[in-house]
């Protein structure tokens, strides 16, 4: 190709911007979740900025360990276990279950209609409720059945303690979902069946309008987020990106 140096510069600039974009999305997602969970503590003064600095510093220390002489071993350990497809399939399965079966696929349809003004294709309902969960769980079971311990360059075998550390990294994200479910069931009142039903029920404030309700001429109105039955004019436009 003509101007090879120019294209090489553009390529590495693309990698730099891609890394920065991924870092912004992941760090901001974690920080926003924790700040919204503890707003009375983290939204006072400069506590949010200090909290962001601490998270970035810890992330820098973890990343620094991956650029040392033995950094490739650490990187592969994180990549093979903590960021593997097993963890992603586990989370995706429970996301589909939560959206389609706990919150309700019809309620989700109504929410999408409120946002974009029309109902998506009906095949998406089957995808959310049946096809995607079955595929995720099938691939998850297949990955566990075909699991082999990590090797570097198909030669070096990781010691058992590092394999245990890798599974600890994987389970640190996977176990959160069933752990929260068990905690919610324990904290609920009544018989076990009633507790499970209460935990699996949508949270209060979920859409309960009739299935044949189709707003016309109200594209500029939304439901009051405070739970009022009246309609109010929107004051903000929120755009969310998800990786």
List, as residue ranges, the binding site for Na(+). Answer: 18, 21-22
Q: Supply 160's token pair.
A: 């058992």
Q: Supply 55's token pair.
A: 């998270």
Q: Supply 50's token pair.
A: 């200090």
| CB-based burial label for 184 (10 Å; 0-12, 13-18, 19+) | middle
Q: Give strand pairing partners of 231.
A: 223
Residues flagged as binding site = 18, 21-22
């Amino acid at each position: 190709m003509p101007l090879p140096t120019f294209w090489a510069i553009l390529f590495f600039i693309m990698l730099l911007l891609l890394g920065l974009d991924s870092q912004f999305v992941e760090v901001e997602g974690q920080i926003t979740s924790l700040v919204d969970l503890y707003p009375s503590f983290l939204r006072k003064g400069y506590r949010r900025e200090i909290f962001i600095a601490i998270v970035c510093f810890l992330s820098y220390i973890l990343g620094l360990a991956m650029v040392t002489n033995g950094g490739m071993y650490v990187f592969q350990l994180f990549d093979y276990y903590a960021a593997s497809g097993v963890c992603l399939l586990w989370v995706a399965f429970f996301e589909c279950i939560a959206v389609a079966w706990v919150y309700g696929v019809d309620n989700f349809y109504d929410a999408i209609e409120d946002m974009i003004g029309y109902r998506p294709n009906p095949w998406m309902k089957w995808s959310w409720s049946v096809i995607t969960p079955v595929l995720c769980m099938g691939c998850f079971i297949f990955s566990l059945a075909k699991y082999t311990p990590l090797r570097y360059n198909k030669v070096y075998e990781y010691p058992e303690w590092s394999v245990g550390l890798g599974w600890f990294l994987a389970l640190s994200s996977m176990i959160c979902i069933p752990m929260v479910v068990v905690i919610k069931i324990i904290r609920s009142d009544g018989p076990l069946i009633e507790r499970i039903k209460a935990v699996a029920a949508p949270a209060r404030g979920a859409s309960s309008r009739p299935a044949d309700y189709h707003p016309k001429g109200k594209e500029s109105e939304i439901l009051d987020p405070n739970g009022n039955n009246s309609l109010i004019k929107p004051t903000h436009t929120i755009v969310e990106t998800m990786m």
